[in-house]
Amino acid sequence: MKVTLFMAMSGNGIIARKSGEEDFLSDAGWYDFKQLSEKAGCFITGRKTYEMCNKHYTKYGLLDVKSERIIVSRSMEAPEGFEIADSPEAALEKARSMKLKSVILSGGSENNSSFMGKDLVDEVILNVEPVIVGTGIPVFAQENFESKMRLIVIKRRKDYIQLHYKVIKGKK
C-alpha cells in the first residue's frame, strides 16, 4: 500500500499554532489535501488533528472529504463517518481491508513521526506557505528517526511551493 504524507506548513516547518489554529495556511492547501485524499480513497489523521479541525475550521471540514477516514487514537471512540485504529500499522491494516491501494497521511506531528519512524511512508508532499511562524506545532514531533528522500518534483503554485519527495526505504 502506498502511503503519502501530505502537509501544508510555514516556511520554517510549522503546521499549526500552539492553539491548533492554522490561520496562516492558505485555503488552496486544503483543496490539495481534499483532492489527494479523494483520489487515494482514504486519509489517515491523528486524534489531535481531528479535534483541531472540528474546533477551528468553519469553511470546510473533514467530513467534506469524499473518502474513507481513519483516525489513529488509543483513547477515542469512532465519530460518525470515521474508523479508529490504535496504531499506524492498525490504520494501514484497516485501509487494506477496505481494498485500498493508497492512503494520504495528514497530521499531526506525533502521528507523522510515528509513521516515518516505522518506515511506513512512501512519499512526502509538503506545501510550503510564504510565512514564517515563530512558535507552533512542527511537521514532525521530536523523535529519534531519520528518513532519506529524493526530490521528485517542485511545483510553483499561486500562493505557495509544493515539494514532492520519494522516501528512500531502508536508508537511515
Q: In this predicted model, what pLDDT tens digit does every residue of 107-129 receive, in sequence order? A: 899 999 999 999 999 999 999 99
Would 70 be classed as within a structural domain?
yes
Residue 94: per-residue pLDDT: 97
CB 162 within 8 A of CB 126: yes
Across the range 161-166, mean pLDDT stands at 98
CATH number at residue 144: 3.40.430.10
Across the range 149-162, mean pLDDT stands at 96
Residue 20: per-residue pLDDT: 87
Q: Residue 132's Cα: distance from chain center in Å?
A: 20
Would 166 be classed as within a structural domain?
no
- Residue 145: how many CB atoms within 10 A of its CB? 13
**What is the enclosing helix (H) or strand (E) of 110?**
helix 109-117
Q: In angstroms, what CA-CA distances link 113 with 7, 110, 140, 159, 171?
A: 13, 5, 5, 27, 16
Q: What is the pTM of this model?
A: 0.95
Would 105 be classed as within a structural domain?
yes
Across the range 152-169, mean pLDDT stands at 96
Domain hosting 125: range is: 2-161
Judged on CB neighbours under 10 Å (0-12, 13-18, 19+), 119 is middle
Q: Tell me the pLDDT tens digit for each residue of 4-20.
A: 999 999 999 999 999 88
Count of domains forming the chain: 1
**Residue owning grid cell 528522500:** 149
Q: State how beta strands 2-9 and 123-128 pair.
A: parallel
Quick one: CA dihedral 23, 29, 35, 38, positive or negative?
negative
Would 171 be classed as within a structural domain?
no
